[in-house]
Amino acid sequence: MRQAVVVFTKVPRSGDIKTRLTKERGGILTPEEAKIFYEACLLDVIDSVIAACQEEGADFWVCHDAGGDGAYLSSLLKGLTHPGKVKGIFADRGGSFDDCMQFAADYILKPQSGARLADSVIIIGGDLPTLQPVTIKNALAALEKLSQSEAGRQAAGQCNDILTPAVGAAIVEAPCQEGGFSLVGYTCETPFDFHKVFYNMDGITALDMLVKKAGEKKIPFAALEMVPDIDIPIDLASAIPVMCSLELAAVTDPTVMVPRRTLAFLRELGLEAAALPPER
């Protein structure tokens, strides 16, 4: 099965990225610091993705927001450890977050002309500095295994009337905080779309909606370990000790990917996590 991984990102721009980390929104960073922080996160995430894709033989793509400066993003990606491993960069078509995620998946699985670019796609955010290559490899392996299962073939057959589809249905996810997910993937034969996953009027969390859709169609489903994103100051405070622990673990384990750019920037700012003693 041909597999692809897409990092889904906004092009970093001061005042338009990670705004909930800025002082104007009750955070601790200036708009320019928030931009630089996100750029470091994005490059660290992409290095982890490329490491996994190289080992597993998957293609790697980057999808950015419709209004983003693609030329600036291309220039930024030259700072990657292996910039030549990026298969391609494309912009979404705008709309709701559901619409943008759907476009990113369809770009890989349902091209408008010619053959599809891959049989499965995994979409990952750019604000996951603790993401490890092993998580991505596990996601790719889970999609491969579930898509070849009898349940996967039956779920795929529901929507295309093919008795034995070459690729079965499967969904994989890694949760993040507050009922969301930071990684999601599915195959080209999976009867799934992002409609109402992120935006619905029923108060259903994104992860609950993902589970609901998979359950209703009996789609084989894999849940990986949590990979937290960083949106607000408490997320950042929680992630700093994890990043430091990865740095120490990498001394004796070469498979651990250290978010070196993100750590370097935080240390340059003098930021570290703290646990305040309880009030008496």
Residue-wise pLDDT tens digits, 7-56: 999 999 999 999 999 999 999 999 999 999 999 999 999 999 999 999 99
pLDDT of residue 115: 87
What's the mean pLDDT in 201-229? 96
Mean of pLDDT over the chain:
94
Angle at 243 between CA 237 and CA 248, to 5 degrees: 135
Q: How confident is the model at residue 280 (pLDDT cuts 50, 70, 90)?
A: confident
pLDDT tens sequence across 44-66: 999 999 999 999 999 999 999 99
pLDDT of residue 158: 66
Burial class (CB in 10 A: 0-12, 13-18, 19+), 114: exposed
What's the mean pLDDT in 158-184? 84
pLDDT of residue 18: 97
pLDDT of residue 5: 98
Say yes or no to pLDDT of 162 above 70: no
pLDDT of residue 13: 96
Among 251, 254, 171, CA closest to 217:
171
pLDDT of residue 277: 79
Among 52, 238, 212, CA closest to 132:
52
C-alpha to C-alpha distance for 261 and 264, rounded to whole angstroms: 5
pLDDT of residue 164: 57
pLDDT of residue 157: 76
Residue type, position 153, single letter: R
pTM: 0.94
Q: How confident is the model at residue 141 (pLDDT cuts 50, 70, 90)?
A: very high
Say yes or no to pLDDT of 160 above 60: no
pLDDT of residue 161: 53
Residue-range domains of the chain with CATH? 3-231 (3.90.550.10)
pLDDT of residue 272: 87
- Return the structure tokens found at 40: 């470091």
Say yes or no to pLDDT of 173 above 80: yes
251-256 long-range contacts, Cβ below 8 Å, gap at least 24? Answer: 255/133, 255/134, 256/132
C-alpha to C-alpha distance for 254 and 279, rounded to whole angstroms: 42
